Structures are given as structure tokens and as C-alpha cells.
């Protein structure tokens, strides 16, 4: 994901990833499309421009992003409705008269360029800012608060599981020692602790030694994987028959969850393989449209490096 810019004009800052692929699935649909992670509004704007018959329910848990999306999409008037909330709670956020009637749902998972590039949000180790990392700053505990309380073994587990950090134990020890001397309250503090803990072990690699730790802490603070698991089901339940669910993920942990969810939807049996007969009465709910995830072209990656790790999967509801 890109880091470094500090501009906040919606049209300048945000380049929606895999836009061509999203439009392939969603631009010709007549009816309601739920953008469950509207962010800066780039995907929604493209859908609305491509299809005058489309309407968008624009949802985001980040109030700052939602404000910028309003600015970007204000020209479309009542074709867009904005809702602040977490996509895992879609069942309570979608208006009653629209429940189960969406022809498309888009989920662009993970942290946005806007969040990374705003130092005061505390997502990035590139600049100094308060160690917050909450996507929704109206609720929950900040990264600083969590790091102040978590025990060493749990911290090491989070770094290993969510950051796939090979030096998780070493970094956890360093963080716990550092917080005994003074509170860890800024992104610069945390990044320095991690870099000192791993020493030269990341020398020669293109990623900063703090990258995996920041990813892991962010995922933990926002319960991103739990939200994704709940949100996928909530999103699918809003689709009418023949509706499409498109999900963009940015790392293997997310993509694995999406892949398994789609596989379960497309299966007519989820019984253990050693059972001689099916006992689950599972009904096949969806057709997988992307048996391999769609990824960015070299041309897109050159113009938008954030797209390098993006993967899109799509499925169609059949019942």
C-alpha cells in the first residue's frame, strides 16, 4: 500500500484498485449496489458514471472517509445514500425497504491510502502520529491502549498470526520492556522499538522491519478478520437472487477467509469427508465467478502501487 502523500482532495488522493475488474461485474447492474467500504468513493463514482440506472448505498465505519466520499459523490444527488457503520452490521444498517434486494455488494477490505497517509490516524510508521489505528474512532480502544495492557505471550501470538512476523517473540519482549520505562504513545516510538529489536535481520529486504508489526496491531485493534467473517455473510444476505458479491482483499489472511466463504456458499455438502452419507442438508447458495482471483495488471501497478497485492473474488447468489 502506498504511503507518503498528505493531500486530502478526494479526486487527487484516491485511486480505486482493480477498477476495471469491479466495473466488469457491477457496472451493468440495474438497482441497488451496496458499497460496504466506500472509503473515498472511487469505486462508487465509477459505477454511478457507468450506469445511470444504478443507486448506491455507501457505507463506511470511518467518519473521515465518509465525509470525503460525500464530497466526491454529491453530484449524484439522491442516487447515493450514506451510512456510518461497520459492514458486519449490514442487517441493521440497510433500510428496511431495501433488505435483501441489492443486486450487487462491493467490499474493498483493509486500510485505505487515506488512512495510511493521515499521520494523525496512527496507521503508518512513515510519519509521527498518535498510536491510534482505529478505523472507527467513535468506539473501541486505540493501539496505544491495547499495547499498554496486552501480555507478552498474547502480543507475540498476534504478531505471528496477523503479521506473519518471524521475530514475533523478540519484538513482543522489546515492546513489553519499553513500556515499563515509558508509555508507547506514537507511531515513531513503536517503529523504533521494532527496528531495534530485529537489528539487521531485515537488511536487504524491501519492507521496513516495522511493517508486519503495524499490520498485526492494526488487525487486532479493529478485529478485521472477525469483522470480515461476519461481514461476508451479512453482505451475501443483502443480495437478491442473481446478485453479485465482489470482495477485494490485500493479504493472504483476508483472501483465505474470502476463498473459504465462497467455497462454502458454492458447496451442497459441508459434512466431514469421512462420513459415508451427507447429513448436513446444506443447500448450494452461490456460483463462484472467479475460480482464481483477479489481480492488477502491470500497467495498473505502475500507476498505483497499492494494487500490487490486491485480489478480487466474485460470486453470484443463485437461490
Question: What pLDDT, in 10s, does the model give residues 74-115?
Answer: 999 999 999 999 999 999 999 999 999 999 999 999 788 888
Q: What is the pLDDT of residue 3?
A: 34
Task: Give the ranges where the chain is alpha helix by DSSP (H).
Answer: 10-13, 19-26, 42-50, 63-73, 90-93, 113-117, 143-149, 152-163, 168-181, 187-198, 211-222, 224-237, 252-265, 298-303
Cα separation, 265 vs 182, in Å, equals 49
Report the first-to-last Cα separation within the chain, whole angstroms. 37
Angle of the 211-222 helix axis to the 187-198 helix axis, nearest 10 = 130
Cα separation, 232 vs 175, in Å, equals 34
Average pLDDT taken over every residue of the chain: 93
Q: Is 282 exposed, middle or buried (CB count within 10 Å of its CB: 0-12, 13-18, 19+)?
A: middle
Q: What is the pLDDT of residue 296?
A: 97
pLDDT-wise least confident of 26-30, 217-221, 315-319: 26-30
Q: What is the pLDDT of residue 278?
A: 81
Q: Note the Cα 41 to chain centre separation in Å.
A: 14
Question: What pLDDT, in 10s, does the model give residues 106-133?
Answer: 999 978 888 888 999 999 998 899 999 9
* DSSP assigned state of 47: H
Q: What is the pLDDT of residue 14?
A: 66
Average pLDDT over residues 278-287: 89
Residue with the larger pLDDT of the pair 295 and 203 = 295
Cα separation, 41 vs 60, in Å, equals 10
* DSSP assigned state of 200: T
- Answering whether pTM is above 0.85, one says yes
HSE of 288, CA atoms in CB hemisphere, 13 A: 17
Q: Domains in the chain, ordered, with CATH?
A: 10-114+224-317 (3.40.50.150), 124-222 (1.10.150.170)
Q: Note the Cα 170 to chain centre separation in Å.
A: 28
Do residues 3 and 117 lie in contact, with contact meaning Cβ atoms separated by under 8 Å?
A: yes
Do residues 284 and 268 lie in contact, with contact meaning Cβ atoms separated by under 8 Å?
A: yes
Q: What is the CA radius of gyration of the chain?
A: 20
Amino acid at each position: 500500500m502506498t504511503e507518503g502523500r498528505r493531500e486530502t482532495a478526494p479526486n487527487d488522493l484516491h485511486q480505486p484498485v482493480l477498477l476495471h475488474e469491479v466495473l466488469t461485474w457491477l457496472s451493468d447492474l440495474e438497482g441497488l449496489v451496496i458499497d460496504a467500504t466506500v472509503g473515498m468513493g472511487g469505486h462508487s463514482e465509477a459505477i454511478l458514471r457507468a450506469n445511470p440506472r444504478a443507486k448506491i448505498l455507501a457505507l463506511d465505519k470511518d467518519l473521515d472517509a465518509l465525509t470525503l466520499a460525500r464530497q466526491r459523490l454529491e453530484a449524484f444527488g439522491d442516487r447515493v445514500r450514506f451510512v456510518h457503520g461497520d459492514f458486519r452490521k449490514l442487517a441493521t444498517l440497510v433500510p428496511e425497504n431495501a433488505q435483501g434486494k441489492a443486486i450487487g455488494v462491493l467490499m474493498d477490505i483493509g486500510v485505505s491510502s487515506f488512512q495510511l497517509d493521515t499521520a494523525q490516524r496512527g496507521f503508518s510508521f512513515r510519519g509521527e502520529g498518535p498510536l491510534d489505528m482505529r478505523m472507527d474512532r467513535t468506539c473501541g480502544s486505540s493501539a496505544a491502549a491495547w499495547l499498554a495492557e496486552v501480555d507478552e505471550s498474547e502480543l507475540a501470538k498476534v504478531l505471528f498470526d496477523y503479521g506473519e512476523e518471524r521475530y514475533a517473540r523478540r519484538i513482543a519482549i522489546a515492546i513489553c520492556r519499553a513500556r515499563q520505562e515509558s508509555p508507547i504513545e506514537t507511531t515513531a516510538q513503536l517503529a523504533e522499538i521494532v527496528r531495534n529489536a530485529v537489528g539487521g535481520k531485515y537488511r536487504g529486504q524491501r519492507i521496513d522491519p516495522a511493517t508486519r508489526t503495524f499490520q498485526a496491531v492494526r488487525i487486532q485493534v479493529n478485529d478485521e478478520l472477525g469483522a470480515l467473517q461476519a461481514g461476508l455473510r451479512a453482505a451475501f444476505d443483502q443480495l437478491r437472487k442473481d446478485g453479485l458479491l465482489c470482495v477485494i482483499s490485500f493479504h493472504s489472511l483476508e483472501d483465505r477467509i474470502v476463498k473459504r466463504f465462497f467455497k462454502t456458499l458454492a458447496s451442497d455438502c459441508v459434512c466431514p469427508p469421512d462420513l459415508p452419507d451427507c447429513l448436513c442438508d446444506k443447500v448450494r447458495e452461490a456460483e463462484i465467478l472467479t475460480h482464481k482471483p483477479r489481480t492488477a495488471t502491470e500497467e495498473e501497478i505502475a500507476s498505483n502501487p497499492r494494487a500490487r497485492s490486491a485480489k478480487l473474488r466474485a460470486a453470484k447468489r443463485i437461490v
